[in-house]
Amino acid sequence: ILMENELRKAIEQEHFQIYYQPKIDIVTGKLTGMEALVRWVHPELGVISPIRFIPIAEETGMIISLGEWILRQACRQNKLWHDQGFPLKVSVNLSARQIYQKDLVDMIKNVLEETGLPPEWLELEITESIFVKLEEATAILQQIRDIGIRISIDDFGTGYSSFSYIKSLPVDTIKIDASFIRDIHHNQESQAIVKAIVTIAQSLNMNVIAEGIELDDQVAALQENGCDLGQGYLFSRPLATDDFDRYLRKDL
């Protein structure tokens, strides 16, 4: 309850910051976009990880207002970067609870209109768990995609994945879970799994990105297996807005 009240107050007072983690074309080394990752900056406790407060926000329904705030911040900031000559795609995490909020599509349209960010420069990351209600989820994602927004399946391979339904999902990108990347450079099974995911993604005209890359050897193994987008500490940790801004200008 204490945490819950604190969180409610924090949402009212906007005690959050968005960090951005680069997404890299591992063949050319070029920056292609970034994932928006929220942090709670508590006046006394300092920075609190989303692992600690997102579950509470989900249980209490506060994720609806917090999620809208995060989306607006990320779109507004990305529009600024666009206007300064950086054509990047920003990826924002949506929790299952948000997918099933009734005005989700209108909320997203409003945020795009308000911020002026063209829809093709926004991607939403969802997890496989939403496909427990396959038809409902598919219909909602289809409406989002019709706006021109991209959809990515986060943590792919850890949840409700089945090759029988993936072909019909309105999804643009598969994000291979970090657990398969961790040992890819010395584990045949992880390599085989990544290779299979890449093959399926390609045949379905989907993009594929690896997350949790920490080592050059992992990059080499990913390249060998046809995965050419990546994200991880090797390239950069998630960066505060100012730091990401500096990173951008150096990268140019």
Candidates 9, 14, 47, 49; binder of ligand G (CB under 6 A) is 49
Which stretch in 52-60, 149-157, 166-174, 243-251 sits in contact with Na ion by CB under 5 A? 149-157
State yes or no: residue 123 binds Mn ion (CB under 5 A): no
Residue 223 CA to residue 230 CA, distance in Å, equals 10
Candidates 68, 128, 154, 177; binder of Mn ion (CB under 5 A) is 154
Q: Which does 230 bind (CB under 5 to 8 A by kind): Na ion, Mn ion, ligand G, none?
A: none
- Hey, what's the torsion of the CAs at 207, 210, 216, 219, to 10 degrees? -30
Smallest separation (angstroms) from Na ion to the CB of 221: 19
State yes or no: residue 128 binds Mn ion (CB under 5 A): no
Smallest separation (angstroms) from Na ion to the CB of 35: 9
State yes or no: residue 211 binds ligand G (CB under 6 A): yes
Smallest separation (angstroms) from ligand G to the CB of 51: 5
Q: Which does 202 bind (CB under 5 to 8 A by kind): Mn ion, Na ion, ligand G, none?
A: none
φ, ψ (nearest 5 deg) of residue 204? -100, 5
Candidates 38, 131, 155, 191; binder of Na ion (CB under 5 A) is 155
Residues near Mn ion, by CB under 5 A: 93, 125, 154
